[in-house]
Amino acid sequence: MYRILRKRQLTSDIFLMDIETPWIATSGLPGQFVIVIPDAKGERVPLTICDIDRSRNAVTIVYQVVGDSTSQLSLMNEGDTIFTIVGPLGRASELIADHNEHTRVLFVAGGVGTAPIYPQAKWCHENGIACDVIIGARNKELLFFEDEMRQVCDHLYLMTDDGTYGEKGLVTEKIKQLMEAGEKYSECVAIGPLPMMKFTSLMTKQYGLKTIVSLNSMMVDGTGMCGACRVTVGGKVKFTCVDGPEFDGHEVDFDEAMRRLAKPDAKKYPIATADKNHSCNLAAAVDAAMTENEDGRPSKRQRPAEQDPLQRIHNFEEVTKVLTEEQAMAEAKRCLNCKKPMCVGQCPVRIHIPEFIQAVANRQFAEAADIIANDSALPAVCGRVCPQETQCEGACILGRKGEPIAIGALERFVADWKREQGGSRTCPTSPTCPTCSTNGKRVAVIGSGPSGLTCAGDLVKMGYKVTIFEALHHAGGVLVYGIPEFRLPKQKVVEPEIENLRRLGVEIKTNVIIGRTVTIDELFEKHGYSAVYIASGAGLPKFMNIPGETLVGVISANELLTRANLMHGYDEEYATPIFLGKKVAVIGGGNVAMDAARTARRLGSEVTVVYRRSEQDMPARREEIHHAMQEGIVFAFQTNPTEIVGDERGYVSGMKCVRMEMGEPDESGRRKFSVIPDSEFLLETDTVVMSLGTSPNPLIKSTTKGLEAESWGGLIADEKGATSRKGVFAGGDAVSGAATVILAMGAGRTAAQAIDEYLKEN
């Protein structure tokens, strides 16, 4: 799909490419950027759009060879296909929004920054706005786009450090010369290396000339998930990909930005391996002897085998194994088959739990799989990551005096058995089969996480034509970028679940940013959708806002997990690096904190989890806490960070903390806490991972008129998922904030039913 239409070498290490990409060519604007991945193992590379040719459905990018991925890109030729290009991302140039305020613009370009300056200068030319352009480079060989710029600007000034071409000197000298000569500009736009933009901004500030800079080079992910592009602007922390990439140059903390951009060398992890042939020393299997009750039911809960902790910290293989057939049947026979099963009422998707368990007890595994499939699109996922202990298993009557039925382990067993038998759902049990008949109405689902996948699966069974739009290059949402391989294998588990939905008739379009590539209004007006379900999740990471958070070595759990899970950063065959130190501190007590800590442990770091409450108060699953402790992760309970300390280079060197004292429960039931006086101490660490929760990305709300949201960012929807916009529904983390996979799935099922009712009436 992403075919290279033209390639041109501009300098010894700078290249231009025209790439065929209809969606981006249709909606892209000057100032926006794209994420390019050359091949399946490449890194996500942010590049500002240089030009757009809508007649050819093509965008132009210009890049400099600075690493493995751009080097790989430079080896590709016309006719080759790029693995992925995502966009457009970021806000369009401020010039477009405020064009009536501009009479004459001064553009300042440095090095490869000449490329993103060109479309803005071209736009000014096409819209009757006068502009001058200054291009700076070390020497003549590094200059490019001279002819192109002359066609769109009034005056072009070329500056070289060595004087081999144009005028000798820096761009700031030319700015000073123009201003001293009385030239008048309404705005300056500077794009290039951070030092150039810094000194340009300092120079223009002397003359009171408003200056906009583009911080595209700060970007990592580009969709607002990782928080790696944090920058301080006007004393406040901004995300470059969400709030930018353009900012007021007079308010940017360039020194901090330059420190953050100077990443430490990516650590090599000889003890971490992706070797699928690794032979693990499994923990001893559970005792096979089963004590039976008087009615013949085994009383002992069956437990699957696990990898030995000393072995599993050296690999990313799944920790917990599946039950054997004998174990599964023995466990199923423990079920009382209650007439009023409380477990079903506590399952957000209302799986008929006793029925599938009885089928397992009778060795009718295929029938059990069909029963689960009627209500769950992701049984192999749910069986692994859902908190059954607080939901279905928590309601099991056997748990009142002993141990509840291992419902999650049985669900996983059935799903894995079905997959290994080659089973797939090509025609659901619903009388309306999408492969046989459809009602002709189209529904768009935004996001391919658990809520979106569930809603899409239910709707397609009802006869609707469903398209899922996913922002990343891989479908699955949090299932692929957030949950580690050792808890949820991607190729073995997630991929087959998604493929099942494709077989049902669900269409999945990746690399589509709703609100940028296409808006919700356009889905209705231009693409013929009758309803929209927003399941975009909550991927925007939160930080503590304590001193030192912008030091090099402070990252979000989202960034660490995305690099490891989605981009396979732990595998040396992939280009994405992971930046971790020897001693890692993970702040937080939820499942994401456990995932981040256990990932860092497998990458060779010593890990300490810092949590301000007690162990009993941790929201993470007991199983995950237990596994983390087994793996040698240290827990600092009732400890709260107050400041991150850095060295003279701006790198993390430690973290100041205080001890906390637990008190009585508040109205919510959680115990209050307070600081113990004179308890401050310094925790030695060189990497701090923030795992404090996430919030919804504001992009969809900001680009959809009439769509109401809470003050914290969550979309407002009623109990059926209906929002303030007619025909637009929402659910999962986009409404509730970060929650569990199964709750998101429950919201998807509820919304599917509501959408069906709405479309039958409209």
Query: Each residue of 491-531: pLDDT tens digit?
Result: 999 999 999 999 999 999 999 999 999 999 999 999 999 99
Mean pLDDT for 708-729 is: 95
Mean pLDDT for 399-423 is: 91
pLDDT at 539 over 90: no
Write down the pLDDT at residue 424.
56
For 662, the token pair is: 């637990």
CB environment 213-223: b (16+ within 10 A), e (fewer): bbbbbbbbbbb
Q: What is the spatial distance between Cα 429 and Cα 439, in angstroms, rounded to a whole number?
A: 17
Helix 194-206 / helix 254-261 crossing angle, nearest 10 deg:
180
pLDDT at 129 over 80: yes
Is residue 459 a contact partner of residue 731, using CB atoms and an 8 Å limit? no
Sign, Cα dihedral of 570, 576, 577, 578: negative
Tens of pLDDT along 458-493?
999 999 999 999 999 999 999 999 999 999 999 999
Could you give the C-alpha distances from 620 to 390, 458, 478, 590, in angstroms and in order? 11, 30, 17, 4
Whether a cis peptide bond, with omega within 30° of 0, leads into 245 is: yes
Q: Within 13 Å, how many C-alpha atoms sit on residue 343's CB side?
A: 27
730-733 contact pairs (CB < 8 A, 24+): 730/533, 730/534, 730/535, 731/451, 731/455, 731/533, 731/534, 731/535, 732/447, 732/449, 732/450, 732/451, 732/452, 732/535, 732/537, 733/449, 733/451, 733/478, 733/537, 733/538, 733/694, 733/696
97-111, 256-270, 672-686: least confident range: 256-270
Mean pLDDT for 438-467 is: 94
Count, in order, helices (H) and strands (E) of the chain: 26, 32
Q: What is the spatial distance between Cα 191 and Cα 249, in angstroms, rounded to a whole number?
A: 10
Mean pLDDT for 116-130 is: 93
Q: Is 525 exposed, middle or buried (0-12, 13-18, 19+ CB in 10 A)?
A: exposed
Write down the pLDDT at residue 458.
94
User: Which residues, in sequence order, are bridge partners of residue 212?
Assistant: 189, 248
Write down the pLDDT at residue 423.
61
Q: What is the spatial distance between Cα 471 and Cα 535, in angstroms, rounded to a whole number?
A: 12
433-442, 592-601, 700-709, 742-751: least confident range: 433-442
pLDDT at 286 over 60: no
Q: How confident is the model at residue 264 (pLDDT cuts 50, 70, 90)?
A: low
Tens of pLDDT along 608-652?
999 999 999 999 999 999 999 999 999 999 999 999 999 999 999
pLDDT at 276 over 50: no
**Residue 216: φ, ψ to 5°:** -55, -35
Q: What number of other Cβ atoms are within 10 A of residue 705's Cβ?
A: 9
Could you tell me how many residues make up the chain? Answer: 762
Query: What is the overall mean pLDDT for the chain?
Result: 89
Q: What is the spatial distance between Cα 333 and Cα 295, in angstroms, rounded to a whole number?
A: 10
**What do you get for the CA distance between the two ends of the chain, in Å?**
36
Is residue 267 a contact partner of residue 225, using CB atoms and an 8 Å limit? no
User: Which residues, in sequence order, are bridge partners of residue 35?
Assistant: 46, 86
Using left for φ > 0, alpha for ψ between -120 and 50, and beta otherwise, residue 657 falls in beta
For 547, the token pair is: 């001193």
Tens of pLDDT along 581-607?
999 999 999 999 999 999 999 999 999
Q: What is the spatial distance between Cα 209 and Cα 211, in angstroms, rounded to a whole number?
A: 6
Radius of gyration of the chain (CA): 28
% of the chain beyond a pLDDT of 90: 75
For 724, the token pair is: 């303030």
Per the listing, tokens 């049985």 go with 410
Residues 6+ apart with CB under 8 A from 287: 300
Mean pLDDT for 429-454 is: 78
Residues 6+ apart with CB under 8 A from 685: 581, 583, 584, 585, 608, 652, 654, 655
pLDDT at 425 over 80: no
pLDDT at 428 over 70: no
Write down the pLDDT at residue 196.
95
Q: What is the spatial distance between Cα 184 and Cα 210, in angstroms, rounded to a whole number?
A: 12
Whether a cis peptide bond, with omega within 30° of 0, leads into 88 is: yes
Tens of pLDDT along 368-391?
999 999 999 899 999 999 999 999
Q: How confident is the model at residue 671 (pLDDT cuts 50, 70, 90)?
A: confident
Q: What is the spatial distance between Cα 694 and Cα 449, in angstroms, rounded to a whole number?
A: 15
User: Which residues, in sequence order, are bridge partners of residue 188?
Assistant: 106, 211
Q: How confident is the model at residue 291 (pLDDT cuts 50, 70, 90)?
A: very low
- DSSP secondary structure string for all residues of 140-166: GGG---HHHHHHH-SEEEEEETT-SSS
Detail the DSSP E strand segments found in 481-603: 507-509, 531-534, 540-541, 554-556, 583-587
Write down the pLDDT at residue 280.
32
Q: What is the spatial distance between Cα 333 and Cα 326, in angstroms, rounded to a whole number?
A: 11
Run of H or E residues at 503: helix 495-504
Write down the pLDDT at residue 297.
59
Mean pLDDT for 402-415 is: 95
Mean pLDDT for 331-342 is: 93
Give the type of residue at 746: G
Mean pLDDT for 68-82 is: 93
Alpha helices in 18-111, H assignment, sequence order: 22-27, 68-74, 94-97
Q: What is the spatial distance between Cα 578 and Cα 562, in angstroms, rounded to a whole number?
A: 10
Write down the pLDDT at residue 439.
84
44-48, 581-585, 656-660: least confident range: 44-48
Alpha helices in 436-476, H assignment, sequence order: 450-461
Q: What is the spatial distance between Cα 417 and Cα 438, in angstroms, rounded to a whole number?
A: 31
Q: What is the spatial distance between Cα 523 and Cα 528, in angstroms, rounded to a whole number?
A: 6
For 421, the token pair is: 């038998």
Residue with the larger pLDDT of the pair 289 and 2: 2
